[in-house]
Amino acid sequence: MPASKSFLITKNENNQFVPSDIPDTSSGTDYWFHTTRDDKFDTASDMGVTPGEYDALFSEITRPYFLAIDNNEFLLFLKAVNLNPNSDPEDMVSLRILCDGKRIITVMNRPIQAVREVRGLTESDSGNIQSACDILMHLIKNVIFKINKQVKKLIEKMEALEELEDKNSDISSEQIHDLRRTISRLSRFTSPQVDSLKKLSAAQLDWKNTSVQQELEDTVNQMSYLNEEIALLKERSEILNNELNSKINNKVNRNLYVISIISVIFLPLSFITGLLGINVGGIPGTDSDMGFSYVVIISIVICIFQIILLRIFRWF
């Protein structure tokens, strides 16, 4: 078995999961084998799977996906939030699960915190994990729990921006665009993940008992709720973005309106000053000491007349 990030945990005679090197498949003992795409085995037999299962586990498919292989075995692809250092949580990581009720084989392309935490619970005496089914349910629940935490953070950010908007505080378009981008990347996989979990819940598997079925239905409900919350976040972010654009447009229009009013007022005055400024003979008032005063008085009268006219037409 490749070293590095792969591990094998097998149930011993004391019904406890302990680290192991070789699974005892002949006795039907529950075990969990985990590996990564970097630690890819040379052949399917090295992993104890069929060639078809081997190809599926290491395929390029990254979207959530469910496939029932027979009445015992299924293949499930999940997406987990990326909690690795220097990574964006919405850059979700693929977790591939092959399970037949007794064995569970998982493959990931990048480290997943949920796998590390469930491994710790499995090897712990207080983890209350008794079977491969328990491992499966803990993995699914932990993946959903991490998504839930990320959705709550996004809701808090959205509420903070909405509060600033209600107070007419300045909000940068970059803040809204970053939030919308995060929500869009997260929502890309939540909807197909709901569908995959629904298919798993509806699948007729011989080893599924009432307790497991109830847990699966609960996970479907939780994932459906998160998917609805993300859809609502998309709508709220769009509304917030429209409100910001509306404010920007109103501000621009108001500024243009003020500039237009000023232009209307000064256009006749500019015409008069331009007309009196031409260098030709016959311009009235050139020989009068009161010529400039007359021009100023006429300009003021025209300006007042324009303002009265604009008020009558309710232009401002």
The position carrying tokens 């919308």 is 180
Joined together, the tokens standing for residue 100 give: 């037949």
Rounded to the nearest integer, the mean pLDDT of the chain is: 85
**10 Å Cβ neighbour count for 189?**
23
Give the model's pLDDT for residue 308.
Answer: 86
Give the model's pLDDT for residue 62.
Answer: 80
114 contact partners, CB below 8 Å, separation of at least 6: 80, 95, 139, 142, 143, 145, 146
Give the model's pLDDT for residue 150.
Answer: 93
Give the model's pLDDT for residue 104.
Answer: 92
Q: How confident is the model at residue 26 (pLDDT cuts 50, 70, 90)?
A: low
Instruction: Specify the higher pLDDT residue, 220 or 283.
Output: 220
Question: CATH for 253-312, among 1.10.8, 1.10.1740, 1.20.58, 2.40.50?
Answer: 1.20.58
Is the confidence at residue 4, as pLDDT, over 60?
no
Is the confidence at residue 91, as pLDDT, over 70?
yes
Q: How confident is the model at residue 213 (pLDDT cuts 50, 70, 90)?
A: very high
Give the model's pLDDT for residue 85.
Answer: 83
Say how far apart CA 24 and CA 144 lie, in whole Å. 31
Give the model's pLDDT for residue 166.
Answer: 84
Give the model's pLDDT for residue 248.
Answer: 85
Say how far apart CA 77 and CA 75 lie, in whole Å. 7
Joined together, the tokens standing for residue 106 give: 């998982």
pLDDT tens per residue across span 253-276:
888 888 888 888 888 888 887 877
What is the pTM (predicted TM-score) of this model?
A: 0.79
Is the confidence at residue 212, as pLDDT, over 60?
yes
Q: Burial of 302 by CB count in 10 Å (0-12 exposed, 13-18 middle, 19+ buried)?
A: middle
Give the model's pLDDT for residue 58.
Answer: 85
Instruction: Specify the higher pLDDT residue, 1 or 101.
Output: 101
pLDDT tens per residue across span 52-90:
888 888 887 788 999 999 898 999 999 999 888 888 888
Give the model's pLDDT for residue 29.
Answer: 81
Give the model's pLDDT for residue 83.
Answer: 86
CATH of domain 7-247: 3.30.460.20
Give the model's pLDDT for residue 2.
Answer: 43
pLDDT tens per residue across span 111-157:
888 999 998 888 876 667 888 899 999 999 999 999 999 999 999 99
Instruction: Specify the higher pLDDT residue, 196 or 306.
Output: 196
Say how far apart CA 104 and CA 30 lie, in whole Å. 8
Give the model's pLDDT for residue 233.
Answer: 94
Give the model's pLDDT for residue 79.
Answer: 93
Joined together, the tokens standing for residue 34 give: 């985990």
Give the model's pLDDT for residue 1.
Answer: 43
Joined together, the tokens standing for residue 299 give: 């300009």
**Least confident interval from 14-18, 75-79, 197-201:** 14-18
Domain segments of the chain as ranges: 7-247, 253-312
For the chain, what percent of residues have pLDDT higher than 90?
33
Say how far apart CA 222 and CA 235 lie, in whole Å. 20
> Nearest-CA neighbor of 176 among 157, 196, 189?
157
Give the model's pLDDT for residue 3.
Answer: 41
Give the model's pLDDT for residue 238.
Answer: 92
